[in-house]
Amino acid sequence: MTYVLIPGAGGDPRYFDLLVDELHARGHDAVAVALPAADPDAALPEYAATVRAVVDTHPEVVLVAQSMGAFTAALVADHPAVRLLVLLNPMIPAPGETPGDWAAATGHAQARAAYAEAQGRDPHADIDLTVDFLHDVPADVFARMSDGPQESDAAFVRPNPLRAWPPVPTRVISGRDDRLFPADFQRRLAVDRLGVHPQELPGGHLLALSQPRLLAETLLSLTDD
């Protein structure tokens, strides 16, 4: 079984370096895919084609997608090699929904503001890399990938060809301390859109950086189920 890992916005495969190491240490193959996120001519169809080319080379795959990577994963999970789809702190798409439409359609801004207020933070503050993403990530871990690529606008605005959720077993893993996509928000979205109750782990939005060992163990436990 090979774990094929799809990064979130920016498409940087280095996000999964620590998780790949943990999976390799446990005797499992893992491949992090570099998405063409900085290409202004590339959007979800091109992202999906990139991932499919990797999946094509493996007979059995667990597809793991971080955040915005769920949009790409949904377009690839019908591949006959995919045995399980695991979404990490995901932007779970509805059929035809673009990443640019997702936040308004799901009520994300309101959920994020309510969680910030409950924690005593400014509910009106803009999304901040340090506050919303890195609050539980060791500084030396993030420093190695701080110059990563930026997402072009194409993926947010070009049509999403997804017509129905693929008929593959799907699991959701949520960071209990995620400030970007609060756990309650993720739980509601996963139940409403997939009929799935997330498994919650301690940690924020970037679990592969803050909790690579625990995340690897959790992925292996899902495969063993």
Which residues face 161 on adjacent strands? none
- 223: confidence class by pLDDT, cuts 50, 70, 90: confident
Residue 145 has pLDDT above 80, yes or no: no
What is 173-191 written as a DSSP string? Answer: EEETT-SSS-HHHHHHHHH
The yes-or-no verdict on residue 220 having pLDDT over 90 is: yes
- Helix (H) or strand (E) holding 31, with range, is strand 29-32
Whether the Cβ atoms of residue 77 and residue 4 lie closer than 8 Å to each other: no
Residues of the chain above pLDDT 90, percent: 91
Tens of pLDDT along 166-218?
999 999 999 999 999 999 999 999 999 999 999 999 999 999 999 999 999 99
Give the model's confidence band at 146: pLDDT under 50 very low, under 70 low, under 90 confident, else very high: low
How many domains is the chain partitioned into structurally? 1
Can you tell me the distance from the alpha carbon of 139 to that of 221, in angstroms, rounded to the nearest whole number?
Answer: 29
The CB density around residue 41, as the number of other CB atoms within 10 Å, is 9
3-state SS of 55-103 is HCCCCCEEEEEECCHHHHHHHHCCCCCEEEEEEECCCCCCCCCCHHHHH
Distance linking the first and last C-alpha atoms of the chain: 14
- CATH number of the domain where residue 167 is located: 3.40.50.1820
Domain extent at residue 68: 2-224
Q: Is the pTM of this model over 0.85?
A: yes
